[in-house]
Amino acid sequence: MNNKAPHARSDAASHRSANLSKGYSAVFATVFIWSVPSLFMFYLNRYYDPWAQNFYRYSVACIAITPFLFYQIRHGGPRIDMHAVKLCLMPCLPNVIHQVTQVMALFYIGPGVYTIFTRASVIFTALLALAFFPEERVVIRQWQFQVGTLLGLIGAFGVIWFQANANSHDQHVALPGLFIAFTATFCWALYGVLIKRPSAELGSIRSFGLVSVITSALLFPLTLAFGKIGTPLHAGVHANLVLIISAVICITLAHVLYYVAIREIGVALSQSLQLLCPAIAMALSAWIYGERLTHAQIWSAGILLMGAFLAMRTKPIATAETAENI
């Protein structure tokens, strides 16, 4: 009996370490993927209105996840029933509001200022996780998480604010745009918190499969009312191919990986590490479009990376895994 106990503890520690490694791998892959959607959307805006772009990207993401969804259903695991649908409906509501309000916000404010607002979702996520999940409170109370999040927000602000080509229009936010951007950011944080339970109960693929179906269904009437539903017929093969690639990579793959990260390392830490996105996005923009980073941006990126590193040094609480791995 005495010999078995150390072995059991060793196995549990190894399993926990493997889960944390999987969580960190998933979140860093997500960070990189979610640094490039603006590059795709910049191109697609020439052919698609925002409503049609949102609807068709989510529809393609839904189609992309379907084969994997059917494969897992055939091989057992949690069933897709009304309980599962109700479970996924709740996070879909803030997700749809986020999709709509982020489009509306860009009519009032520039993309740089909006990016700063989206990074503020870390604060909202931490507060919501504190309210919804007692196990997350241990992470949020650690000084590494608090200082790391603060440094990350300061760095994210600096990376965007000190753009070499920034003009006065980009640096002043109209109050309606400020409110809409705040709504979009809060809804994204709420979505990240509410998706934790479906991901844990159903698994990453099942939960995102249902979320993509419900989100597409909710976006459809909005596209009929405000967008041009027939855009793919006129956009051309190249534009449609770019849309398909952006949907499969930036929505389907990124969301599944994000759900894995949430399940393994928690909501608060997964969101905190998303602070790396602005720095990566700026680096890609400099490489592809020839933008030069200012000295202030480089310093800000350093502060951001330091904050993300500190946040990563927190000790996540291992949650009971009730769903199969991806």
Residue 15 lies in a domain: no
Name the domain count of the chain: 1
For the cut 80, the answer to whether the pLDDT of residue 145 exceeds it is: no
- Which token pair is 23? 């969580």
Structural domain for 139, as ranges:
25-312
- Whether 8 is covered by a domain: the verdict is no
d(CA 51, CA 74): 35
11, part of any domain: no
In a domain, 2, yes or no: no
Residue among 275, 322, 298, 21 at smallest CA distance from 148: 275
Q: What is the mean pLDDT of residues 144-149?
A: 80
For 288-307, the pLDDT digits (tens) are: 656 566 787 778 877 877 87
Q: What would the pLDDT profile of 26-65 be if each residue is shown by its tens digit?
A: 888 888 887 777 777 777 888 988 889 889 998 999 899 8
Residue 121, both tokens: 């979702």
Q: Which of 55-59, 118-122, 251-255, 279-283 has the lowest mean pLDDT?
A: 118-122
Q: Which amino acid is at 163?
A: Q
Burial class (CB in 10 A: 0-12, 13-18, 19+), 116: buried
Residue 88's alpha-carbon distances to 75, 132, 149, in angstroms, are 21, 16, 29
- pLDDT of 174 above 70: no
Closest among 165, 3, 188, 26 to 93, alpha carbons compared: 188
Q: Is residue 319 in some structural domain?
A: no
C-alpha span between 219 and 250 (Å, rounded): 18
324 occurs within a structural domain: no
**Residue 43 lies inside a defined structural domain of this protein:** yes
d(CA 164, CA 290): 12
Residue 4 lies inside a defined structural domain of this protein: no
